[in-house]
Homo-oligomer: A and B are copies of this chain.
């Protein structure tokens, strides 16, 4: 993940080490010691900054989300249809580099902590809200530009985010992935039928 390429502080170096260790070992086998080994400096420095592995992993997730938010906070998209297709292409992750795939698996493991861990629950609630709002902005813009149908932006965004969440959840926790291509096709068909105004449509 580019966001960890140039750590600007000891804190960021630790977060980068946590990210790399998480991708390599997954959540279950993750320890502060392993993160310390990945980190160039002393493991005691890791303990100095973070109370334990969950505290550190949550800080890592938070840092990634904030960076992603800053990167994509360019206001309404110029081309809503293109922006929507980029969002709906996320399940193509199956063709992504191994590290990205490992991260998705680790993310699902982390989210699997949420039923019994309030801090994870809060984090994932906030990240869901962020991604839904991002999709809703694309939809609102498309409706305003007259290229999308007059759908309910929130409700449609929730549907799309739930499909993507389900796809990542299944991808990380099952053996086959042939179904992923079907999901991408069906999401594309959903957008064509539900969202995109076609030539000759009667809506304004």
Contacts and interface: CB of A to CB of B under 8 A. Distances in A.
Interface residues of A, number: 50
B109 A156 contact: no
A108 to B, nearest CB: 6
Query: Taking chain A's interface residues, is the majority helix, strand, or loop, or is none over half, making it mixed?
Result: helix
Interface string A172-204: 111110010011011100100110000000000
B109 A105 contact: no
Nearest to A170: B165
Contacts of A166: 161-167, 169
A159 interface: yes
A164 B159 CA distance: 10
A48 interface: no
Contacts of A156: 186
Interface stretch (A38-46, A66-74, A121-129): A121-129
A174 B125 contact: yes
8 contacts: A29-B116, A122-B175, A125-B174, A128-B179, A132-B179, A155-B185, A159-B163, A162-B163
A121 B169 contact: no
Contact of A121 (B26, B174, B186): B174
A124 B193 contact: no
A75 interface: no
B112 A173 contact: yes
